Amino acid sequence: MRIRATARFLAVYSGGTPSALARNYHSLLTNSDRLADGEPLVEYRHHSGGIHNSSLEKVFKDLLFVYLKNLPLLAGRTAEEGQQIRTSIIQQMFKLVNDIQLVCDDRLRLINRLDDECKRILSAAEERLTLIHRLEHEMKELQKLNLELQKVCDERLRMIQSVEKTADQRLKLIESLDAKCKEYERSVAKGQNSLASEL
């Protein structure tokens, strides 16, 4: 049978004597076979707000609150009983503090590991950002170079067009001179034929 975590602490009731508590405990033990017919003596529940799901810090604060709240009950006890109860509670709280320290150390190691991982990611991101900036600068330089090449190409195209225009003009001039030469040759030939017929 499982028992709730809060039930594992020694309970001392102000309304009963130790001998009465011992008699009740003995009665419970002698009748355990009759009381345990499938009927649990302590209900054990799991829920999100339960002590099992609480942080160690909260458990420590709750224990300290309960201890301080019930501290006046020790006034009705002997000095020996009070010292025994105080010692037991202090031992339990020191153990819990030690557990809290272990958890804090684990959390600190985890935080340091996450911090190192974040620094590594940040360094990689900065390197990539530097690379992106360098590529952007190179792209701008390439764009400037492309613009200059485009200007050179446009200028050469205009020169080619100008040369083509001049060549066309010269071709027309040559064709015109060729036509005049042929006309002149025909007129000369015609004059020679006319002169020969007269002789």
The reply to whether 93 falls in a domain is no
Q: How far apart are CA 9 and CA 171, in angstroms?
A: 119
Per-residue model confidence as pLDDT tens digits over 15-32:
444 444 445 444 444 444
The reply to whether 5 falls in a domain is yes
Structural domains in the chain (count): 1
For every residue of 40-79, DSSP letters joined together read -SS-----TTSGGGS-HHHHHHHHHHHHHHHGGGGGGS-H
The reply to whether 104 falls in a domain is no
The reply to whether 29 falls in a domain is yes
The reply to whether 47 falls in a domain is yes
The reply to whether 26 falls in a domain is yes
AA letter at 30: T
Q: What is the pLDDT of residue 39?
A: 45
When the pLDDT of each residue in the chain is averaged and rounded to a whole number, the result is 77
The reply to whether 108 falls in a domain is no
Q: How far apart are CA 76 and CA 90, in angstroms?
A: 20
Q: How far apart are CA 124 and CA 127, in angstroms?
A: 5
Domain that holds residue 22: 1-53
Instruction: Answer for the pair 97, 60: CB distance below 8 angstroms, yes or no.
Output: yes
Q: What is the pLDDT of residue 111?
A: 94
Share of residues in the chain with pLDDT > 90 (%): 34
Per-residue model confidence as pLDDT tens digits over 21-74:
445 444 444 444 444 444 444 444 555 666 666 777 787 788 788 888 888 888
Q: At what angle do helices 56-70 and 79-198 cross, to 10 degrees?
A: 150
Per-residue model confidence as pLDDT tens digits over 101-119:
888 899 899 999 999 999 9
